[in-house]
């Protein structure tokens, strides 16, 4: 095997010198592109606020912004304003020391990791309870658009029709 490589190298350096130069240039170009590829990259965007860590008013604002973005992407809708009213925030449930039964006198089960930190064992997370949604859109005078907006809100938030009010601007 060493003689084959030595033969190949001898042939490349003596007979195929232009090919060797091209291979080295292409390799250097590849290394250069890899080295400089991160210079013009944009920094990662800040994560959107988590619904689980915000207050009731904060959760209403985040849901309203998300709904506004989604509803404005429906063809023919245009600019939309959304207000969401929540009756309950997101609630986390944890495994308790009484075999998972939710008893106010029992404490959540804690686990310890190898670094010495501890955390509770999650069981479930119950979403927010939506009280109502008001959508104001300039194009809501069109019955078809109004119907699409109402159906979209009902589907996205899993609410009943009486909890959604669509108004023209």
- Contact between 140 and 164 (Cβ < 8 Å): no
How much is the pLDDT for 63? 86
Average confidence (pLDDT) over 55-69? 86
Least confident of 4-13, 35-44, 76-85, 144-153: 35-44
Distance CA 79, CA 65 (A): 12
More confident residue, 140 or 8: 140
Give the model confidence (pLDDT) of 94-149 as tens digits: 666 665 455 555 666 666 676 767 676 666 667 778 889 999 999 999 999 999 99
Average confidence (pLDDT) over 29-55? 66
Average confidence (pLDDT) over 61-72? 90
Q: How many whole angstroms from its chain centre is CA 88? A: 23
Q: Where are the domains of the chain?
A: 2-36, 51-90+127-168, 97-125
Instruction: Quickly state the pLDDT bin for 32 (edges 50, 70, 90).
Output: confident
Least confident of 17-26, 133-142, 156-165: 17-26
Asked whether residue 157 carries a pLDDT value surpassing 70, the answer given is yes
Other Cβ atoms less than 10 A from the Cβ of 128: the count is 20
Average confidence (pLDDT) over 48-71? 78
Tokens of 75: 């063809």
Query: What is the share, in percent, of the chain residues with pLDDT greater than 70?
Result: 67
Beta bridge partners of 168: 137
Least confident of 17-31, 113-127, 137-151, 154-168: 113-127
* Mean of the per-residue pLDDT values of the chain: 78
- Degrees to nearest 5, angle at CA 107 with 97 and 93: 90
Domain 51-90+127-168 has CATH 3.30.300.30: yes
Distance CA 89, CA 108 (A): 20
Asked whether residue 15 carries a pLDDT value surpassing 90, the answer given is no
Q: In angstroms, what CA-CA distances link 147 with 16, 117, 140, 166, 169?
A: 73, 51, 9, 9, 16
pTM over 0.85: no
């Amino acid at each position: 095997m060493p003689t084959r490589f030595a033969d190949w190298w001898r042939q490349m350096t003596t007979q195929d010198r232009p090919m060797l130069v091209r291979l080295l240039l292409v390799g250097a170009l590849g290394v250069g592109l890899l080295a400089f590829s991160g210079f013009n990259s944009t920094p990662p965007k800040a994560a959107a606020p988590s619904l689980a860590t915000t207050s009731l008013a904060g959760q209403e604002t985040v849901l309203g912004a998300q709904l506004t973005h989604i509803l404005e992407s429906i063809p023919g809708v245009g600019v939309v304003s959304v207000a969401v009213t929540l009756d309950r925030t997101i609630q986390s449930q944890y495994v308790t020391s009484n075999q998972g039964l939710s008893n106010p006198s029992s404490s959540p089960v804690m686990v310890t990791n190898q670094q010495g930190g501890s955390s509770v064992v999650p069981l479930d997370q119950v979403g927010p309870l939506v009280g109502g949604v008001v959508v104001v859109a300039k194009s809501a005078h069109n019955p078809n658009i109004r119907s699409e907006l109402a159906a979209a809100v009902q589907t996205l938030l899993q609410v009943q029709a009486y909890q959604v009010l669509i108004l023209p601007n």
